[in-house]
A = this chain, B = another copy of it.
Amino acid sequence: MARPRKPLLSRERIVSAALALVDAEGLQSVSTRRLAAELGVSGPSLYNHFATKDEILDAVADTVVAQVDLSMFDGGPDWRAALLGWGRSYRAALTAHPHIVPFLAQGPGRRPAGLRMADAVFGGMTAAGWPPAHATRIGALMRYFVAGSALGSFARGFVDDASAYDPADYPHLGQAHLLADHQHRVDEGAFETGLTALVDGLVLQYQRLTAIGG
């Protein structure tokens, strides 16, 4: 068979198969041949729809980021609640597809969903009274925190094996092996603690700013 009367592939079909494969088996398992096999075609077929494999993964990353709720930014002047809500939705979108996060972090500048997000945050913060330079920084620092939390699950690093943590080497890590069990709880707790601290700290800065300004 050569060219079929109706196309076998489409960008959407390729992207959703790639996302399913990433979720099921991780980034490593996404090769062009493997992905093509999953779609019932041969490897080179993909190049009729995307120029490179990276372009496919870019599109996958974009659909993940597109899941982030941005509605809180056209609401009103409660930027504190908006940041909290956005942060949680952003993190939820990433942790739903953890294997794509390392790729996602490589630079969202050309991905529409990332741009929409940056635009919404900037617009929301400036509308709430933040100067433009601050609004830019807030968008960036929130992204750092959320991406970092989704990427490197802190607790995932600890092995479920007491012998790995000799108290002579690490006097304070006696319970570290237990963390493997509580992985989720530690990550969620650290994320919530950090998110709250971040927003609380920004409130202080906002107060200083308006005290000087007004």
Residue positions of A touching B, CB distance < 8 A? 102, 105-110, 112, 114-116, 118-120, 122-123, 126, 133-134, 136-149, 151-159, 164-165, 169-173, 176, 179, 186-187, 189-191, 193-194, 196-202, 204-205
Contact = CB atoms under 8 A, between A and B. Distances in A.
This chain's copy number in the assembly: 2
30 contacts: A102-B102, A102-B105, A106-B152, A107-B153, A110-B159, A115-B165, A115-B173, A116-B169, A118-B173, A118-B176, A119-B172, A122-B172, A136-B179, A136-B186, A140-B155, A141-B190, A141-B191, A144-B144, A144-B154, A144-B190, A144-B194, A145-B148, A146-B148, A147-B152, A151-B151, A194-B198, A197-B199, A199-B201, A200-B201, A200-B204
Given A141-B194, A144-B145, A110 B164 contact: yes
A111 to B, nearest CB: 8
